Structure 1
Amino acid sequence: VLFVDEIHRFNRSQQDAILPHVEDGTVILIGATTENPSFEVNAPLLSRSRVITLRALTDDHVKTIVSRALVDDERGLGQDQLTIDADGLDLLANMANGDARFALNTLEVASAGVGDDRVITADLVQDAAQRRAATYDKDGDDHYDTISALHKTIRGSDPDAALYWLARMLERGDDPMYVARRLVRFASEDVGLADPQALELAMAAQQAVHFIGLPEGALALAELTVYLALAPKSNAIYVAYGQARDDVARTRNDPVPIHLRNAPAKLMKDLGYGEGYKYAHDFDEGIVGQQNLPENLKGRTYYTPTERGFERNLRDRLERIREIYRESASEAGRDSKA
C-alpha cells in the first residue's frame, strides 16, 4: 500500500511514474488531497481510482472529539482533570468550522489558562482561538464556489444572501479588485440595459476600492452588491452579443457593405467606397434604413430587449427603428423593380 499525502503536489511526470505500478497491481495507491482531483490529478490515474469525498465534521462531531480528549489519559488531557462548560464547548465547536485539529489545538491552549476550578470557559476558548478556523482557500474550490454563490444570489435578487457571500470573500482574504471585476461583469451581463446606471456604479465602486483599499473599500462593494441585487435584471445584451459572436465564427465573413466603407483616398472613392451612404441626421427622426450587415446576414437581428426596467423604453424605440428600416427596405425594393 502506497499512501501519498497531498498528492496534488506531485507534478504530472511524477504522477505518470506511479501509473504503470498501479495498473499492474504492484501498489495499491491511496492519495489524499485538499484540492479538486479533477484538476490536480492526471486523468489516467484518476480514471483508475475511486474518489471518496471527506466532508467537514459537524458541530456535534467536534464536541464528541473534544469531550473524548478531556478524558483520554494517554493522548488527551485526561490527567489534567479538566472540564469545559456548555458555552465554551458550543463556541469551540462553532469556531472550529468542522476542523478537529483546530478544535484540539485550541483546547490545549485554552487549558493552560484554567483557574482553580479546572473549567475551560467560553472566554478562555475565545482567547485561545483568536479567530475562526479558516476553511477558505483563495485558489481552490471554495473560492470559485463562493464567487458562484455571490453571482447567483445577486441574480436571484437576494441582497441579504449576496452581502453574506461578499463578506465571506473579503473577510477571508480574497482580492477586492477580483470581486470588483466580477461585479462589473455582473452589471453588464445580468442587469444590462434594464438599468444602465448599474455599470456606472460598478465602475465607481471599482475606482473607490482601488483608491482607498480595504477595509473601507468593502462598503463600496457592499453598496454595489445591494444595488445590483435590487436592480431589474436583463441578459438581453449577453445573449445578443453571444449570437453575434457565433455568426462571426460560423458564417462567411463577407466584406463590409460598400456604402459603409471608409474612403480617405481618391482611389477608394473611385472604387465606390462610401457611395450610397445615407447620413442619418438628414432624415426625419434621425433614422434611416440601410443594409448595414453583410449580404449573407441580411435581416438578422440580435438584440431583443426585455420588458424590465429601462429596456421597456428601449423596446418601444427599437420597434419604431425597425419599422423605419422595413419601410426603407420596401421602398428600395420598389425602386429596384422600377
Structure 2
Amino acid sequence: VDEIHRWNKAQQDALLPHLESGVITLVGATTENPFYSLVNPLLSRCQLFELYPLQHEDVRRMLERAVADVDRGLGFMELRVTEVALDYLAEMAGGDIRNALNALEVAALSTPRKADGAVYIDLEIAKESIQKRNVRYDRGGDEHYHYASALIKSMRGSDVDASLYWLCAMLDGGEDPNFLFRRFLIFASEDVGMADPYALGVIQAAHEAFLKTGMPEGFYFLSHAAIFLALSPKSNSTKAIFDLQREIREHGVMEVPPWLRDKTANAKEARYLGRENASDDYRYPHNYPFHWVDQRYLPESLKGREWFEPGTQGREASLWERLRKIREQP
C-alpha cells in the first residue's frame, strides 16, 4: 500500500484482524511520520524501517547506469555526459533518484544529436534540465516542524547565521511567510520577553511592512525580524503565567481582598449592612512617593508567594532593579 497515511483511522483499523490472523501481509510506504499518521495498534503489529535520502555518490552511480544501460536505461541514445554534468545532476537532485533520472531524460530528449549520432550533455544543458535544487521540505510534514524548531532554537541561541539559514531553507521550500511571522511574534514574548519589551512592536511592524510590499522586497523584513530576535537579549520570565495557571487549577481561586473589590459594590454593601466601607482601606499608589505603596494584593493564603522570576538581561533587569530600590525606601 503506497501512501498508507492517506487511509483514515477506520480503514487502518479494518486491517488489524486480518494482520493478526495472517490472511494478509502488509507492506506499506509513507512519506509522513508514521507515529502521527498511523494508528498505534497498526504500528504495534508492524516492523518499521526508515529510508533515508540517497547520497551524492549513490545518485551519480545510478545516473551512470542509466547512461550505459541499453535495455532499461538511455544507453540506446548514445549519450555522452561530461563528468561535471553528472556531478551537477546528482547534487541538484537532493538525494531523489527519480528527480535526477527525470532531469537526465529531459536533457537527452531535448538535445539534438551531433553528426556522429551521439547526444552530448554538458554542464549548461544539465543546468537547463534541472533548474532548481530539490528541497526536502513539506509544509505539512515532518521537515516543516524540524526546520521551524531549528529556526527557533537558533534564534534562542543568538546564532544569527543559523537563524537566517533555516529561515531561507523554509522559504525556499515554499513556506508561508505569515507562518514565520507568527512564530517570530511568539518568540518576541516567549524568548525575548521583558528583556526587550519593544521586540513585539518591531516584529509587528516588520509583518505589516511585509504585507504592504510583498515579495521579493519582503525578504528584507523577514531577515530584519530574524536578525533582530537573534541579537536581542533573552528572557523567558513570561512563562510565569503558566505557573499561575497550574496554581489556580490545582487550588482554585481565593477570595479577592476586601479593599481590592469594586468600590461601588463595597459602598452599596456598607450602606446596606451599616458597616465601614472596605474600599476605605485601599491605598492609592499615586498618592505616595514613586507611585508605590506597600500593600497586599494577593489573597491572604497566598501572602508572600512569588511566581515571577525576573531576568537579568536587557531592560527587564533595569526595570526590576528600579522596583527593588523603591521597595527598599523607608
Work out whether the TM-score is over 0.5.
yes
Alignment deviations for residues 291-334 of structure 1 (CA, whole Å, 9 cap, x no partner) = 1112222111122222222222123123235546xx7xxxxxxx
Matching of residue 263 in structure 1 with residue 263 in structure 2: yes
Matching of residue 92 in structure 1 with residue 97 in structure 2: no
Between the aligned partners of 1:73 and 1:251, the Cα distance in structure 2 is 77
Shift of 1:141: 0.5
**Residue in 2 that maps onto 1:60:** 57
5 Å-filtered alignment, 1:142-291, equals 142-238=143-239, 240-265=240-265, 266-268=267-269, 270=271, 272=277, 274-291=279-296
Amino acid at match of 2:196: D
Amino acid at match of 1:55: Y
Aligned residue for 2:53, secondary structure, equals coil
**Residue in 1 that maps onto 2:24:** 27
Aligned residue for 1:29, secondary structure, equals coil
Between the aligned partners of 2:269 and 2:148, the Cα distance in structure 1 is 51
Between the aligned partners of 1:30 and 1:21, the Cα distance in structure 2 is 13
Structure 1 residues 248, 211: closer, same or farther in 2, change over 3 A? farther
Alignment deviations for residues 193-222 of structure 1 (CA, whole Å, 9 cap, x no partner) = 112222111111121222222322221011
**Residue in 2 that maps onto 1:7:** 4
Structure 1 residues 276, 72: closer, same or farther in 2, change over 3 A? same
Aligned length: 321
Amino acid at match of 2:47: R
Structure 1 residues 321, 23: closer, same or farther in 2, change over 3 A? farther
Q: 1:76 aligns with which of 73, 76, 79?
A: 73
Shift of 1:163: 0.7
Amino acid at match of 1:101: R
**Residue in 1 that maps onto 2:312:** 307
Contact kept in structure 2, 1:305 and 1:315, CA below 8 Å: yes
Structure 1 residues 115, 276: closer, same or farther in 2, change over 3 A? farther
Amino acid at match of 1:299: G
TM-score (norm 1): 0.90
Between the aligned partners of 2:203 and 2:214, the Cα distance in structure 1 is 15
Shift of 1:264: 3.1
Aligned residue for 1:8, secondary structure, equals helix
Unaligned runs of 5+ in 2: none
Between the aligned partners of 1:211 and 1:299, the Cα distance in structure 2 is 49
Amino acid at match of 1:289: D
Alignment deviations for residues 221-274 of structure 1 (CA, whole Å, 9 cap, x no partner) = 111101111111111222x22222221222221122221111335524547453
Unaligned runs of 5+ in 1: 328-338
Between the aligned partners of 1:88 and 1:322, the Cα distance in structure 2 is 73
Aligned residue for 1:264, secondary structure, equals helix
Aligned-residue RMSD, C-alpha: 1.7
Structure 1 residues 114, 308: closer, same or farther in 2, change over 3 A? farther
**Residue in 2 that maps onto 1:296:** 301
Q: 2:322 aligns with which of 284, 292, 317?
A: 317
Shift of 1:151: 0.3
**Residue in 1 that maps onto 2:46:** 49
5 Å-filtered alignment, 1:88-167, equals 88-112=85-109, 113=111, 115-116=113-114, 118-167=119-168
Structure 1 residues 269, 321: closer, same or farther in 2, change over 3 A? farther
Aligned residue for 2:54, secondary structure, equals coil
Amino acid at match of 1:295: E
Shift of 1:89: 1.4
Shift of 1:56: 0.6
Contact kept in structure 1, 2:290 and 2:326, CA below 8 Å: no
Contact kept in structure 2, 1:305 and 1:314, CA below 8 Å: no
Contact kept in structure 1, 2:234 and 2:313, CA below 8 Å: yes
